[in-house]
Amino acid sequence: MHFPPPTSAHLPTDPNPGDSSMDELDKWLSENDFNLSSLNSESGQADFDFTFLNASDTSGGGGSSGTGLSFLPIDHTYRAPSLVAPPIIFDFDQARQNNLPASLPQVFTAAPLPLSNSTPALPHSYPTHVLFSPPPLITDNQTLSPAAPPHVFAPTPLAASGPTLNLPPITSESIHFPSLQSLSIQPPVTPASETLGTSTNTNHAKVVSDTTAAKSKKSIHKAPAGVGAATSGLLAQLTGTPASLLLVPDLPVSLPLGAPLSTVTSSATTSNQADAGRRSSRAIIPSKRNEQMAKIGSNPAGTGAKGVEKENIPPDSPPSWAISAKNFLLVRDLGEEWNLCVMAWSELEGILGYGTISGTKVRINIIPITVCG
């Protein structure tokens, strides 16, 4: 996966961060039909408090000038999962340390998506992690245009997305930001395993601790398994709510986000089949288990072969020993008289039945044993 180099972005800001910049942001939002007050139905005002964030070190680094928001190429940077979209680069550590005042709206790398009626509602099957898909990359010299603000909630084309979660459409009513203290985003958790078929890593919502979020932030580049944890950590830092209170569904490990659904389903189905395919791509050898099982209890063919041969022997034919003996006796020419002798013997054997006729037996008279003395 290719990660583009970190870039710095500049928003139209005022050199003196404070009310002027806030006014400028309000102006920009109003021009773009942004109504932040509509997000908070209770207080009727925007309660975005990003005091814990510091957009950048205004004094230096990254080649930025002024007080504008800049993204610095620092080693400890957060990168959004590359499987979703081009990575977002944001220095949370730096932001936490600097702790910019709340009046700085430049914390947004891009203006929030106007959640108005003009905004197309997200489909039901839109995954939750797409909510935090990174905005388009901003180069150093590129200035964000209020007319075309990057979309934080830019939807990813669903055709290329793999797992789909049945979620309600995200509209201005569905996203609720009551307050900073009681903010807890609980996305509707659907039984994703039913939709995804087989997944070793369940999609159930789990409570992510702060340490887990911190670890996942570092390991987000390696495995997509910590996307959910990283998301919860991101939410925790954005909202100031302890991450332990956030319920973020974890994403399956083995399912790439950009893979088509059909491919994911087929690969997940065949993963449990040991002999579904051979790595040599040769044809699968059919099993002979049933044939071997059918032979159990049956007599092997050829067991009675010798018996059949014995039964087929004519009764008057000489046995094997007689044939071999006669062949040996006649193998050498020992004279005519010898041949006559052998032929006479052969005839006598035939008369006597080759030793099987009782006429060849001789009974010896039983003599009682007497002990002398």
How far apart (Å, rounded) are the C-alpha atoms in residues 241 and 177?
12
How far apart (Å, rounded) are the C-alpha atoms in residues 81 and 61?
25
Closest separation in Å from C-beta 274 to other proteins: 48
Output 59 or 365, the one with its CB closest to other proteins. Answer: 365
CB under 8 A: which stretch of 19-27, 199-207, 251-259, 346-354 binds other proteins?
346-354
Site for other proteins (CB under 8 A): which residue of 362, 371, 372, 373? 362
Q: How many CB atoms lie within 10 A of CB 363?
A: 5
Output 101 or 319, the one with its CB closest to other proteins. Answer: 319
Site for other proteins (CB under 8 A): which residue of 274, 364, 371, 372? 364
Does 335 sit near other proteins (CB under 8 A)? yes
How far apart (Å, rounded) are the C-alpha atoms in residues 110 and 151?
6
How far apart (Å, rounded) are the C-alpha atoms in residues 206 and 344?
105
Q: How many CB atoms lie within 10 A of CB 114?
A: 19
Burial class, 314, CB count within 10 angstroms (exposed 0-12 / middle 13-18 / buried 19+): exposed
Does 48 sit near other proteins (CB under 8 A)? no
Site for other proteins (CB under 8 A): which residue of 369, 371, 372, 373? 369
Amino acid at 139: T
Burial class, 165, CB count within 10 angstroms (exposed 0-12 / middle 13-18 / buried 19+): buried
Burial class, 254, CB count within 10 angstroms (exposed 0-12 / middle 13-18 / buried 19+): middle
How far apart (Å, rounded) are the C-alpha atoms in residues 171 and 117?
8
Closest separation in Å from C-beta 295 to other proteins: 29
Output 288 or 332, the one with its CB closest to other proteins. Answer: 332
Output 189 or 325, the one with its CB closest to other proteins. Answer: 325
Tokens of 202: 């369940």
- The site that binds other proteins (CB under 8 A) totals a number of residues, namely 39
Output 33 or 347, the one with its CB closest to other proteins. Answer: 347
Selection from 155, 160, 150 nearest residue 124 by Cα? 155
Site string for other proteins, 281-320 (x = CB under 8 A): ---------------------------------------x
CB under 8 A: which stretch of 226-234, 292-300, 304-312, 324-332 binds other proteins?
324-332
CB under 8 A: which stretch of 59-67, 120-128, 176-184, 329-337 binds other proteins?
329-337
CB under 8 A: which stretch of 81-89, 263-271, 309-317, 352-360 binds other proteins?
352-360
Judge contact between 71 and 138, C-beta under 8 A. Answer: yes
Q: Name the residues that contact other proteins, by CB under 8 A.
A: 320-322, 324-325, 327-329, 332, 334-335, 337-338, 340-342, 344-345, 347-349, 351-367, 369
